[in-house]
Structure 1
Amino acid sequence: MRFVLEMRQAGVTDARALAALERTPRTHYAPEHLEGLALDDVGLPLPHAQTMTKPSLIGRMIAALAPEQSDVVLEVGAGSGFQAAAITSTASKVITLDRWNDLVVAARGRFGTARLMRTYAFTADGFDGWPDEAPYDRIIINASLEDFPAPLLEQLKPGGVIVAPLGDAQIQRLIRWRNGEREDLGPIRMQPLERGLGEAPRAA
């Protein structure tokens, strides 16, 4: 209850996003030595200078994405797996990608422990998306970039939605794209999306 109240105070008012955050225990996805901070509205450090996004920002991203129960969702930037797990509670299937194989393996393990049978993590360059499961109803990018990558737009269903922070190191805006139209959802700040793989993929 305190967690949800804190999310409301941070500006997360979308009922679906709040329910998704409430149903997903952030402590399960936080680094073990930082579990005591898991219910606070702060970002947490992950390996490779990555960050577990603070929950109020995740709530804002999920609200912008507005997934439906029948949707297949592609997430770029798995991190700890927390956001993918939260989205799973509001969608049919979630594919999440990360360029760092060890983060992907760790996220898979957390999904398995949580018995999330419709959430899949793969090592990939986020700019390329994941064609094997395309087309997607919704695509969400957890890192900033100058514009939506063409491969991701190509993997989106007609009428589908893609959400991402667009801009440069100084100014970023959360943009929702649908049917060629862009909706500006306000200022945001996230790390830039990096190209390529962080390391060679290995079997889990």
Structure 2
Amino acid sequence: MRRYEDTYKQKGLRKQLVDSIRQKGITDENVLAAIGNIPRHYFLDTAFESIAYDDRAFPIGEGQTISQPYTVAYQTQLLEPRPFEKVLEIGTGSGYQACVLAELKMNVFTIERQKRLFDQMKVFPFKSKYPNLRLFYGDGYEGLPSYAPFDKVLVTAAAPHIPEKLVQQLKIGGKMVIPVGGQEVQRMLRITKISETETEQELFDNFSFVPMLAGKK
């Protein structure tokens, strides 16, 4: 069985990582503190442990990746997280982003469509730190209507369009952060739900995510 240890060296590397993403423009100190508190190497295969605090994405199997820490910080900052808000995350993956949201004291509902990744996360010891984190196996395009409405929605895969069912599950005044576009490059959007029939869109930087797929696997 794998032993999870967080050494002084790893804590030092994490501090350097936080400093680097601050220099890249992340200003929300709560987001930076959350990334500084979470041992990213826990979420990676031991083969990547020595480079876990490089600011880049790594494969986690099933054609998925753990996002670059800067990307995690960027999306989280755009989400404007507040303690005790309900947030729906689409694409649990390694669970790293979900734990960042939980570290920020949000009530996290996260969906994963890949059964192997979902099963891995279910038994991941670190998640027990967060009683405010709930895992679901399902189709991200469908969301979790029985738990709606949500204050926030965060999509961590490239959507070809804005999923209307996820917009419906937002509260009035709620926000969704989602990368939208083709397979190579997507534009980060922040969508604010103004009324049951109106939304406001803000455009931000370009990123590259794995595609958001329908169904379960």
Shared fold, TM over 0.5: yes
* Mapped partners of 1:107, 1:132: distance in 2: 22
SS in 1 for 2:123: helix
Runs of 4+, deviation exceeding 3 Å: 111-114
* Paired residue secondary structure (2:183): coil
**Partner in structure 2 of residue 71 of structure 1:** 85
Q: Which amino acid is 2:200 matched to? A: E
Alignment of 1:60-99 (within 5 A): 60-99=74-113
Deviation at 1:193, TM superposition (A): 0.3
Task: Provide the rounded CA distance (Å) in 2 between the counterparts of 1:167 and 1:28.
Answer: 31
- Could you give the per-residue CA deviations for residues 47-83 of structure 1, whole angstroms, max 9, x where no partner exists? 1111111101100010011111020110001110000
Structure number with greater Rg is: 2
Letter in 1 for 2:182: D
Q: Could you say which residue in structure 2 is the equivalent of 1:184?
A: 203
Give 1:101 shift. Answer: 1.3
SS at match of 1:126: coil
Of all paired residues, the percent bearing the same amino acid is: 30
Q: Which runs of 5+ in 2 are unaligned?
A: 1-14
Structure 2 distance, partners of 1:172, 1:111, is 33
Find the residue that maps to 1:175 and give its secondary structure. Answer: strand
Residues 1:15 and 2:29 are matched in the alignment:
yes
* TM-score normalised by the chain length of structure 2: 0.86
For the 8 Å contact 2:31–2:77, the answer to whether it is kept is yes
Given the alignment, which residue of 185, 195, 199 partners 2:214? 195
Matches within 5 A, 1:36-47: 36-47=50-61
Runs of 5+ consecutive residues of structure 1 not aligned to the other structure: 199-204
Deviation of 1:111 after TM superposition, in Å, equals: 5.6
Shift of 1:112: 5.2
Q: Alpha-carbon deviation of 1:172?
A: 1.6
Paired position in structure 2 for 1:143: 157
Name the structure 1 match of 2:114.
Answer: 100
User: Given residue 93 of structure 2, which amino acid in structure 1 is its aligned partner?
Assistant: G
Question: In structure 1, what is the Cα distance between the partners aligned to 2:126 and 2:144?
Answer: 21
Report the more deviating stretch, 72-81 or 162-171: 162-171
Partner Cα separation in structure 1 for residue 75 and residue 182 of structure 2: 19
Deviation of 1:23 after TM superposition, in Å, equals 1.7
Shift of 1:195: 1.0
| Displacement of 1:14 | 2.2
What is the root-mean-square deviation of aligned Cα atoms in Å? 1.5
Equivalenced residue count is 198
Give the equivalent residue in structure 1 for 2:172.
Answer: 158
Bigger Cα displacement from structure 2, 104-113 vs 82-91: 104-113
The question of whether the paired residues in 2 share the 8 Å contact of 1:143 and 1:192 is answered with yes
TM value normalised by structure 1: 0.91
| Distance in structure 2 (CA, Å) of the matches to 1:31 and 1:126 | 25
Q: Which residue of 2 aligns with 1:53?
A: 67
- Distance apart, 1:108 and its partner CA: 2.5
Separation in structure 2 between the aligned mates of residue 99 and residue 10 of structure 1, nearest angstrom: 32
